[in-house]
Amino acid sequence: MTTVSSRWTGTGVAPGTAVAASWRVDRPIQLGAGPLDPNRVEQAFRDVAGDLNRVANRARAQGRRAVADIVAVGAVIATDPGLVDAAWRAATGDDPLHGIHDAVEEYARMLESLPDEMLRERAADVRQVGRRVIERLARTGSATPTLRRFVLVAEDLGPADLLEHLGQGLAGAVTVRGGANSHAAIVARSVGLPLVVGVDPEVLDLPDSTSLLVDADAGAVVADPPYAEVARADEATARDGQRRGVLATDRGRLHVTADGQPFGLLCNVASDTEVRVGRESGAEGIGLLRTELPFLHADRWPTDADHRRALRPILADTAGWPVTIRLLDFANDKVPPFLKDQPAGLKALLDNRDALAAQLRAILDAGRGVDVRIMVPMVTTAADLRAVRAAVSELGAPAIPVGAMVETVAAVTAIDELCTVADFFSIGTNDLTAQVLDLDRTDPRARPELTAHPYVLDLIARVVTGARLAHRPVSVCGDAGAHPTTLPLLLGAGVRHFSVACARIDETRYRLLRLDTAACAGIFAEALAMRDAEETATLVRQRIGVTVP
């Protein structure tokens, strides 16, 4: 008999592939009517708090401190008297479980309506706690699947849902809701579980134990996948594991190219989990801390308290590291609702001096004792940089280095004047390439390898030369720094410092250790005469012999 596969697309927010049996973790509970001893409600909340604390403690004992803290938030919520009281009162009615469900939902909605972003985010945690309490009271939910290896399927997932099944057969997860910044996504990335979110709700109707392929790299979910596809996914997973092992063996080696030129390798982060991975992978610091990501759904400028809350966990483990904190970059595909229909980007921040001052105050405060540098995104003129510098000085911190991202053509053109104001530069190849080639950042054609286009390379060379003449350090923090075609070209252009996604550090180091800067410079000179990125890529492939395992 042949089985017909069903396919869905979604967004892979934690990389990897897995094939395992599906298990719907939040299958709707039959909320049967019937009286319930309200005292059991309080006990159920206490039990859920105990469960979550146990999961958090286990994570802490395994050295997963940040993850443990996230789960512990659920335990605190389960002891929140406001929530427990509301549920207790609801449970005295005729239909207690429905009542509790509605009371929890009302509480979650109340949180969602609050102006504080962090409190709003807790609504999902409240719903997770409510689900667990009802499961306990209804005694229907099977807290542990009987499957040897399984993929969790759910409307939405809390971090504890992943952690409590870790090491017990959990191979991946699929959800209808959630995003790259959800706590579940952060946990999944941190523990290396593939997670695809934004999948059609149809997936929720799959019977448990359906064979499910999760390919987070391709953003695909396939039920009853054909044998050949399963075999390919299994091979890819095995190869990836081996490859990672080999790449990691270079950690600790001196950072010099094949011809002895020193290079710097830093990481791009937006969470404490990434800081941990960066440290483990031997990054030398943070070359780009993206501060806007927690606020992309905000309906007002973040306050200094909002910024401090977001920054503290990230900066907690950065002792001895240089940390380049980029100011809010609400540009292009990162414009929050409150800036829709208004000028966004750097102009918005510079026009709202209170918002700028709030972020700077939070950086100075949360960054006490940290080797902090401030980086300004989307700079177009030296005046942009002067404005930020003045704001930093007004807060009594004139010695903090202030640098510019070079990611607009205007900034490249103004490079000599920018050198008179900037302490350092970082080339944002993602935006620069998109602008030069007139592509939207969300356009699937906007890929890192397009930085190999000679127009873009020419601009990069101008920045490197200008900065070198003025003795200003220059790095690249766009994704071209971690791409096999563009990395040799950037090295050939004279770039010696690269800041890349944490998951790409080992691979980038592997390449840099084996590249020859003189050979790269020769290829770069030839590339400037090519017609397009494809022709340049072919040239690089023909001439660069580094193959990654």
Residue 290 touches which of ligand PEP, Mg ion, none (Cβ within 5-8 Å per kind):
ligand PEP
CB-based contact 326:364 (threshold 8 Å): no
Say which amino acid occupies 69: D
Q: How far apart are CA 382 and CA 158, in angstroms?
A: 45
Nearest distance, CB of residue 289 and ligand PEP, angstroms: 10
Backbone angles phi, psi at 324, to 5 degrees: -95, 110
Complex with ligand PEP: residue 171 or 266, whichever CB lies closer: 266
Complex with ligand PEP: residue 221 or 414, whichever CB lies closer: 414
Nearest distance, CB of residue 334 and Mg ion, angstroms: 9
- Specify the DSSP element, H or E, that contains 501: strand 497-501
- Specify the DSSP element, H or E, that contains 409: helix 409-413
Name which of 191, 155, 167 is nearest 70 in CA terms: 191
Q: How far is CA 90 from CA 37, 99, 134, in A?
A: 12, 5, 12
Nearest distance, CB of residue 378 and Mg ion, angstroms: 7
Complex with Mg ion: residue 175 or 430, whichever CB lies closer: 430
Q: Which two tokens stand for residue 487?
A: 């990395």
Complex with ligand PEP: residue 125 or 407, whichever CB lies closer: 407
Nearest distance, CB of residue 195 and ligand PEP, angstroms: 21
Length of the chain: 549
Nearest distance, CB of residue 363 and ligand PEP, angstroms: 17
Complex with Mg ion: residue 431 or 507, whichever CB lies closer: 431
Nearest distance, CB of residue 361 and ligand PEP, angstroms: 23
Number of residues that bind Mg ion (CB under 5 A): 3
Nearest distance, CB of residue 429 and ligand PEP, angstroms: 5
Nearest distance, CB of residue 179 and Mg ion, angstroms: 20
Q: What angle do CA 449, 455, 458 make, to 5 degrees?
A: 100
Give the dihedral of Cα atoms 302, 186, 68, 336; nearest 10 deg: 10
Residue 185 touches which of Mg ion, ligand PEP, none (Cβ within 5-8 Å per kind):
none
Count of C-beta atoms within a 10 Å radius of residue 142: 11
User: What 3-state class would DSSP assign to 338?
Assistant: helix
Residues numbered 430-459 forming contacts with Mg ion, rule: CB under 5 A: 431
Residue 496 touches which of ligand PEP, Mg ion, none (Cβ within 5-8 Å per kind):
none
**CA pseudo-torsion sign 22, 23, 26, 29:** positive
Q: How far apart are CA 485 and CA 477, in angstroms?
A: 16
Complex with ligand PEP: residue 158 or 302, whichever CB lies closer: 302
Nearest distance, CB of residue 335 and ligand PEP, angstroms: 12
Q: What is the DSSP string of 197-243?
A: ES--GGGGGSPTT-EEEEETTTTEEEES--HHHHHHHHHHHHHHHHH
Complex with ligand PEP: residue 21 or 480, whichever CB lies closer: 480
Residue nearest to Mg ion according to CB distances in the complex: 431
**CA pseudo-torsion sign 435, 437, 441, 447:** negative
Residue 215 touches which of ligand PEP, Mg ion, none (Cβ within 5-8 Å per kind):
none
Name which of 365, 347, 366, 369 is nearest 356 in CA terms: 347
User: What 3-state class would DSSP assign to 289?
Assistant: strand
CB-based contact 100:87 (threshold 8 Å): yes
Piece in contact with Mg ion (CB under 5 A), picked from 27-35, 148-156, 380-388, 424-432: 424-432
Nearest distance, CB of residue 428 and ligand PEP, angstroms: 3
Q: How far apart are CA 110 and CA 116, in angstroms?
A: 12
Residues numbered 394-413 forming contacts with Mg ion, rule: CB under 5 A: 407
Residues 6+ apart with CB under 8 A from 100: 41, 87, 90, 91, 130, 133, 134, 137
Binding residues for ligand PEP, per CB under 6 A?
288, 290, 329, 407, 428-431, 477-478
Count of C-beta atoms within a 10 Å radius of residue 79: 16
Complex with ligand PEP: residue 76 or 293, whichever CB lies closer: 293
Nearest distance, CB of residue 331 and Mg ion, angstroms: 7
Name which position in 10, 145, 198, 428 contacts Mg ion (CB under 5 A). Answer: 428
Complex with ligand PEP: residue 289 or 350, whichever CB lies closer: 289
Count of C-beta atoms within a 10 Å radius of residue 209: 14
Complex with ligand PEP: residue 164 or 479, whichever CB lies closer: 479
Nearest distance, CB of residue 379 and ligand PEP, angstroms: 12
Complex with Mg ion: residue 221 or 288, whichever CB lies closer: 288
Q: How far apart are CA 310 and CA 66, in angstroms?
A: 13
Complex with Mg ion: residue 293 or 528, whichever CB lies closer: 293
Laid out side by side, the sheet with 17-24 consists of 6-9, 220-223, 211-215, 17-24, 150-154, 170-175, 195-197, 11-14
CB-based contact 254:35 (threshold 8 Å): no
Residue 477 touches which of ligand PEP, Mg ion, none (Cβ within 5-8 Å per kind):
ligand PEP
Nearest distance, CB of residue 355 and ligand PEP, angstroms: 18
Residue 257 touches which of Mg ion, ligand PEP, none (Cβ within 5-8 Å per kind):
none
Residue 429 touches which of ligand PEP, Mg ion, none (Cβ within 5-8 Å per kind):
ligand PEP
Complex with Mg ion: residue 333 or 532, whichever CB lies closer: 333
- Which residues of this chain interact with Mg ion, rule CB under 5 A? 407, 428, 431
